[in-house]
Structure 1
Amino acid sequence: MRGSSGRWALAMATGMALALGLASGAGASGDFGCTPSWRLGLSDYECAGVPFLSARNDTRTNLAWLMMEAGGGIPKQAGTPVNSWETAPLGHVFLTWDAMRSAFWPGVQAEEETWPLPAYSGTLCQTLASGGEAFAAALANTRSIPEAERGALVSARTNLKAACDGTREEPSWPASVTSPAGRDYLAYLKGARAFYAEDFGSARATFAGLEDSGQDWVAETARYMQARTALAAAQVPAIDEWGWYDNTKTDAALAAQGQAALEDYLRSYPEGRYAASARGLTRRAFWLRGQRPELSRAYGALLERESAADPAAAHLIEEIDTKLFFEAAGDGDIDSALSLATWDLLRLRASEPVMSERRTARLEAAELAAQAPHFAGHPKLYTYLQAAQAFHVQRDYAAVLKLLPDDARKGQYTPLAFSAQMLRGLALEALGDANAVGFWEQLAKGADPRFQRPAVELALAHHWERSGELAKVFAAKSPVQVPEIRAILLEHVADGAILRAQAKAGTSRLEREVAAMTLLYKDLTRGHFADFGRDRALVPQGAAREGWIGGWLRDAARAVPLGSFTHGRWQQDFACPALAETAQDLARDASDPGALLCLGDFYRLNDFDSYMAGERWRGREELGGTPSRFAGEMTDRAAIYAQVLAGSRASADERAYALYRSVMCYAPSGNNSCSTTDVPESQRKAWFQRLKREYPKSRWATKLKFYW
């Protein structure tokens, strides 16, 4: 189910992949370009998850934490996600499923990104090569087959590749194979060729005739292939003429036959060559037959014993997500503890994602109480679910504290233990408990620095921001060291004193540059022009001019464009001195119309407009969502032009330019690029007409042809 319970396009693609023989639903995850809400207590799904069990998490993320819990904790070899354009906004605090896979199972990620894909990937024929190797090895070990016949049989196997390549001509089989053992191997090839050609009826009949073969390899393989053939045939009606897959249209009778054949194989060969594959196919049989409780139990057993360090764990998680959660028909279908816990966490969400076509009923306390028998072997997990239900649904934070005792002084935490302490801390915060900050400080000491500690640091920073103690985040030996957390607070909340201090002595280049950039930008936009003159000395020599203002969290590799303040663009069509001189003029006279217009051009030419607009986009509950401590109110370009036009000191050319630029704020789309506050089209028309009427010979009136 991932984040959404209704990704039907993905379901179709995944179903098609499963129909063709893939073991899991790995593939598109919708994580690309994910930007998190910088807060921890969300009750809604978000593409960016947290390093503890939560209603906000992708179901795959919660499954992974639970698997690690069952296996004893976070694998030691796990590393932090690879820094990339997609993961940069997560700030080492949050995790998408793709980012989590890159950290825990990098080999799986690399394998799936290999191009070109292996031959016949995603089709029945993906086993062609491995099957050929097994066939050749079995032949080599069968001494009762003459050497010449063995060579003929190996050559005859090319008929299987021809079937995979789409050849429908009748194959030529060697007449020289006459030994009893050789004939059994030849018959097997004919059955395999029918299987790859999707002639499932012929394949099943052939394999059925070989299950009593005197050749051990042929007999075992034929029995296994009967099951595989029946399941492949069962999926044929589910694929329409366009290739879309609908699991409700599978042939239930064939699926049941396939399941029975698997059971027969495993009884006869419990440790056989194909035993692991047969158990996987048994799960597919449950899925094809809609036997969701049985499927849930099979997955539950796997989750309990699978090592999270095994690369196969990622495939298992995606298989469970696709086959069990994505198509869950009803809340009673899932009854194994770890799978049910994941489903319960999803049902604690206040709402489903926007793209979800289905809604699950929210999990109420009475229903959770009725689930107690399913968690008989997992009492701590059940207690956590009770606390999570109280937190997310009932908003009974006192009940959370009663259920989850303080245990914030441990040296390390399993995923479940850490989840419990995080939820307790969030309940303390929700109650306004004075002990919350001390709790977070203690918890940080034992939290895993790779995944857990950044979340605790976010909780601490969030607390100090809202308690008016922002300086503690930047104090010497502060426990808050995640660069992105510190940079967000500098950019959105910090006052001038903190910005100056961190611009000089920040813990990283990024921090120093963000602090200096924010300080100089706010000096200008808040009218602190004399301070700007002094603070320009914080710009290092050689500072980059090109860059993405405010884009450091998306792409920290790109330079913060501090050089804009020392050698940026000052003028285009309107004559302006260097920015330093403009700031000096405004320090002497803050209403100097020419200097104001030059300041506006600096903003426009150096891409400051969108950055100004972004100041107002922060959610109130997010980190950096409280009012800025920097003195003064922001003045954007629209306000500059309005100030020039409202005064009496501007020259005719300056007034004409202010009118021109006021209209051009809306060019060419009609959207305001100078401010977050629009004016009606009638006002834009009035500016246009005034420019044409009062300053008809100005170059600005001549240049302006339209209003928007």
Structure 2
Amino acid sequence: MKNYFQWPKTLLAAILLPLNFGFSATSFAGIDVSCYPSTNIQTNAYTACDNLPALTPANDNQTNILLLLSDMGLAKLNFNQPNSPLWETEYSNVPFAAKTLFESATNKRPNARLKPNNQKTPYQEHCSSLDNGADQFSQQVKADKNLSKVEKDLLIQERQNISACDRDLALIQVNPNWSIQARQYASYLKATIAFYNSNFSIATKIYSVLTTIDQSWIKETSQYMLIRSSLNESYQSGVGEYGDLKIDKVNQTLLKNTYEHITTYFKRFPEGKYAASARGLLRRCFG
């Protein structure tokens, strides 16, 4: 485990890419969303416009992941589709567009991961868990025998009130007469509100405290949310005026904190509920 998580001197910019797996090959941050493929074989500059059927830093990250999965025998790639010529552009033909490969790739093994009920694709990655997070929170609160029915109803209602990710959400008022368990859930909701308000520094502070409590679900989920919170704060630090990436401006301390939160999660919860997601976020740290 120690060697696997050895801290590299330089983390690549992949951590700053959107976490949504299915983005279009012509979608970019900023104003210019055009895609102009080049026939030059680039191996040191990222582009989602023209991808090669070999591992290269210039490929879209999803292309490289699919190539690795193919090597492991976990995915089948169909580069040569009958009746499907090379991606034609006004300039020339290129090997293939990233989107073309995603649409043609298939699993060689059944997918054991359940599809989320929420099929919406938010613009901001951290908003993607808005609905599914509410379901998980409600299920946990309902199952907690240390909460009274009144507390359960209030907590579930407060979580359902967090229904948007594009405006300022007001922090909930914690009733001092609630049980300690209810106040801990309420603190978790405060961190969640800060997270969806994009106030990641506040969210990180609250999640950090909650990782020390005894309630197992809050403890593990808060440890996982520390990863996402610091990851998004790192992203914030490197975004330019028009949404472009300023790699030299990325806060390296925040980036290192993300890595440390991931390794801590694996140490504390090696078979945890969010292990697969945490492992994926670790890959983003290493680029």
Q: 1:237, 1:250 within 8 Å by CA — same for their partners in 2?
A: yes
Query: Match of 1:270, SS?
Result: coil
List aligned pairs for 1:437-476, cutoff 5 A: none
C-alpha separation in 1, matches of 2:51 and 2:143: 53
C-alpha separation in 1, matches of 2:174 and 2:148: 14
- Per the alignment, residue 203 of structure 2 pairs with 203
Write the letter of the residue equivalent to 2:101: M
Change (3 A) 1:88 1:81: farther
Figure out how many residues of one structure are paired with residues of the other and give that number.
246
- Per the alignment, residue 179 of structure 1 pairs with 179
Write the letter of the residue equivalent to 2:205: A
C-alpha separation in 1, matches of 2:195 and 2:168: 13
Aligned with residue 27 of structure 1, among 2, 25, 49: 25
Structure 1 position 258, deviation (Å): 2.1
Q: Does 1:101 align with 2:73?
A: no
TM-score when scaled to structure 1? 0.30
Write the letter of the residue equivalent to 1:133: D
Question: What CA RMSD, in Å, does the superposition of the two structures yield over aligned residues?
Answer: 4.1
Write the letter of the residue equivalent to 1:228: R
The structure, 1 or 2, with the larger RCO (C-alpha pairs under 8 Å, 6+ apart) is 2
C-alpha separation in 2, matches of 1:32 and 1:260: 36
Query: Match of 1:120, SS?
Result: coil
Query: Match of 1:272, SS?
Result: coil
Q: CA-to-partner distance for each residue in 1:137-176, whole Å, 9 max, x for gaps?
A: 11121111111211110111144335x13125x4443638
Write the letter of the residue equivalent to 1:167: D
- Per the alignment, residue 214 of structure 1 pairs with 214
Structure 1 position 15, deviation (Å): 7.8
Q: Does 1:68 align with 2:70?
A: yes
- Per the alignment, residue 129 of structure 1 pairs with 131
Q: 1:81, 1:100 within 8 Å by CA — same for their partners in 2?
A: no
Query: Match of 2:128, SS?
Result: helix
Write the letter of the residue equivalent to 2:41: Y
Q: 1:78, 1:103 within 8 Å by CA — same for their partners in 2?
A: yes
- Per the alignment, residue 240 of structure 1 pairs with 240
- Per the alignment, residue 139 of structure 1 pairs with 141
- Per the alignment, residue 160 of structure 1 pairs with 162
Change (3 A) 1:209 1:34: closer
C-alpha separation in 1, matches of 2:17 and 2:151: 38
Change (3 A) 1:180 1:71: same
Q: Does 1:225 align with 2:225?
A: yes
Change (3 A) 1:82 1:210: farther
C-alpha separation in 2, matches of 1:86 and 1:200: 43
Q: 2:38, 2:50 within 8 Å by CA — same for their partners in 1?
A: yes
Query: Match of 2:147, SS?
Result: coil
C-alpha separation in 2, matches of 1:238 and 1:35: 27
The 4+ residue runs of structure 1 with deviation greater than 4 A are 14-17, 23-26, 29-36, 46-50, 52-55, 57-67, 77-80, 82-89
C-alpha separation in 1, matches of 2:55 and 2:240: 38
Q: 2:207, 2:223 within 8 Å by CA — same for their partners in 1?
A: yes
Q: CA-to-partner distance for each residue in 1:426-457, whole Å, 9 max, x for gaps?
A: xxxxxxxxxxxxxxxxxxxxxxxxxxxxxxxx
- Per the alignment, residue 115 of structure 2 pairs with none
Q: 2:151, 2:182 within 8 Å by CA — same for their partners in 1?
A: yes
C-alpha separation in 2, matches of 1:142 and 1:210: 17
Change (3 A) 1:270 1:227: same
Structure 1 position 22, deviation (Å): 3.6
Write the letter of the residue equivalent to 2:152: R
Q: CA-to-partner distance for each residue in 1:652-687, whole Å, 9 max, x for gaps?
A: xxxxxxxxxxxxxxxxxxxxxxxxxxxxxxxxxxxx
Change (3 A) 1:190 1:54: closer
Q: 2:231, 2:255 within 8 Å by CA — same for their partners in 1?
A: yes
C-alpha separation in 2, matches of 1:144 and 1:248: 49
Q: 2:172, 2:186 within 8 Å by CA — same for their partners in 1?
A: no
Write the letter of the residue equivalent to 2:163: K
List aligned pairs for 1:400-549, cutoff 5 A: none
Write the letter of the residue equivalent to 1:250: V
- Per the alignment, residue 250 of structure 1 pairs with 250
Task: Between 22-31 and 117-126, report the one with greater CA deviation.
Answer: 22-31
C-alpha separation in 2, matches of 1:123 and 1:212: 27
Which consecutive unaligned segments of at least 5 residues does structure 1 have? 1-11, 37-43, 107-116, 287-294, 296-322, 324-708
C-alpha separation in 2, matches of 1:63 and 1:192: 31
**Structure (1 or 2) with the greater helix fraction:** 1
C-alpha separation in 1, matches of 2:205 and 2:55: 51
